[in-house]
Each structure stands twice: as structure tokens, then as C-alpha cells.
């Protein structure tokens, strides 16, 4: 039997970069745009992009309900930036109608590090891995989190140290963009957790 592929949610955002990183790690990847494709994957990456846009397209494509179910059933998932926002418990200061899957017990603030002018690159120390490049683009800031959440990396951008890479069970959330760098360390961590 052929193993089910890994999916990258391909509604909007930097899908191509995630697909390239995973393909580079010899993983079979499918760009997920439909309910049928979502049903078939063994894990999912939710890329960077605009969380309000991706949320809306999840609704119009009919995938919201199925993805919510699959996440409740423990579908392994890695969300970067907008992906983290979609997996969060709540969005602080979001739009009134902003919803999220509440897969990871974190409360995030959209653009918590500032608008585009404040977007930055730094080095992030990841537990058990070491230093990885951290590209933060209008990045969400994790402002609070529950005991269920394992914090694997933090960053202090002048306003106190906050988590930037977290895990809760099969769900991983990352406020920066590992897919925009040469390092595949974060994707490898996620892949290792699948087996």
C-alpha cells in the first residue's frame, strides 16, 4: 500500500515554498484545494498568507468543516504565520468575525511585531535543534498560552520573551517562516513527529 501524501493547504499564500521544502526531503506532497484532497492527506501544512483570506476560502471551498473534524481527530498539522493564526485558540484584536480552529491553546495578536516596516530576520534557538534562521513578516505574536502547549523556541524583540515555535500534540505552530530559508529543520521536526 502506498502511504498517503502530506498536504500543503493551497488556497492562498506561500504554498510553493512549503511544497519545495517537503519535496526536497523526499516526501510525497499534494497541494490541497478541495475536500477530496483534504480527506486523503496524512498531515497538513498551513502556509503563510493572509489569515482572513485563507479562512474565507476554507469556507467557500467547503473545507472548513472537514478540516475542523480532522484536526479534532488529531491530524498532524504545521501552521506557519497565517497558519498559526488559523490554529490558535483565539485572535486578539482580530476582526469581529475572525474564527480559528482552536487546535493549539495560544492567543495570538495579528501583526503583533508591527506592520511590514517592522518585519525582521533574526536567529531563533530551537530546543533540541539549535539555531535556525527566523524570518518574521507581519508576524503574529503569541501573547498567552496554556499548560498544554510545549514552547520550543522563544524570541525577545524588545518587549519581553514570547513563544515563536509551539507544539500541542500533533499540532505545530510557528510565527516565523522556515519555508523562506535554506533550513529545513522545522519541517524535519514536524516530519519526525509523524512517525
Partner 1 sequence: MTLLSDSSVVGSARVKRGLADMLRGGVIMDVVNPEQAKVAEDAGAVAVMALERVPSDIRRDGGVARMSDPQMIQEIQATVTIPVMAKARIGHFAEAQILQALDVDYIDESEVLTPADEDNHIDKWGFTVPFVCGATNLGEALRRIGEGACLIRSKGEAGTGNVVEAVRHLRTINAQMRRLTSADEAEIYRLAKDLQAPLPLVLEVAATGALPVPMFCAGGISTPADASLVMQLGAQAVFVGSGIFKSEDPDRMARAIVEATTHYLDPSVVAKVSTGLGAAMRGAEMASLEQRLAERGW
Q: 106 phi and psi, to 5 degrees?
A: -125, 150
Minimum CB distance to partner 1 smaller for 16 or for 42: 16
Given a contact cutoff of 8 angstroms between Cβ atoms, the answer to whether 76 and 42 are in contact is yes
Distances in whole angstroms, Cα of residue 59 to Cα of each of 12, 99, 110, 130: 13, 11, 20, 38
Minimum CB distance to partner 1 smaller for 26 or for 115: 115
Q: How far is CA 18 from the centre of its chain?
A: 11
Stretch that binds partner 1, among 38-46, 63-71, 151-159, 163-171 (CB under 8 A): 151-159
Query: What does the alpha-carbon distance between residue 191 and residue 10 come to, in Å, rounded to a whole number?
Result: 19
Binding mask 85-124 for partner 1 (x = CB under 8 A): ---------xx--------------xx---xxxxxxxxx-
**For this structure, is 81 an active site residue?**
yes
Q: Which residues bind partner 1 (CB under 8 A)?
A: 10-17, 33, 48-50, 52-53, 56-57, 60-61, 81-82, 94-95, 110-111, 115-123, 135-138, 156-158, 177, 180
Amino acid at each position: 500500500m502506498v502511504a498517503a501524501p502530506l498536504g500543503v493547504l493551497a488556497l492562498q499564500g506561500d504554498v510553493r515554498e512549503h511544497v519545495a521544502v517537503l519535496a526536497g526531503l523526499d516526501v510525497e506532497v499534494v497541494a490541497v484545494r478541495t475536500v477530496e484532497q483534504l480527506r486523503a492527506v496524512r498531515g497538513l501544512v498551513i502556509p503563510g498568507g493572509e489569515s482572513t483570506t485563507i479562512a474565507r476560502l476554507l469556507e467557500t471551498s467547503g473545507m472548513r468543516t472537514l478540516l475542523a473534524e480532522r484536526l479534532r481527530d488529531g491530524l498532524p498539522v504545521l501552521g506557519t504565520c497565517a497558519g498559526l493564526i488559523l490554529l490558535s485558540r483565539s485572535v486578539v484584536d482580530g476582526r469581529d468575525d475572525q474564527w480559528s480552529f482552536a487546535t493549539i491553546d495560544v492567543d495570538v495578536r495579528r501583526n503583533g511585531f508591527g506592520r511590514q516596516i517592522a518585519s525582521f530576520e533574526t536567529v531563533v534557538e530551537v530546543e533540541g535543534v539549535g539555531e535556525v534562521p527566523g524570518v518574521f513578516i507581519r508576524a503574529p505574536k503569541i501573547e498567552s498560552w496554556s499548560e498544554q502547549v510545549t514552547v520550543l523556541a522563544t524570541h525577545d524583540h524588545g518587549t519581553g520573551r514570547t513563544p515563536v515555535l509551539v507544539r500541542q500534540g500533533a499540532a505545530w505552530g510557528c510565527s516565523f517562516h522556515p519555508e523562506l530559508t535554506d533550513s529545513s529543520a522545522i519541517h524535519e521536526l514536524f516530519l519526525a513527529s509523524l512517525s
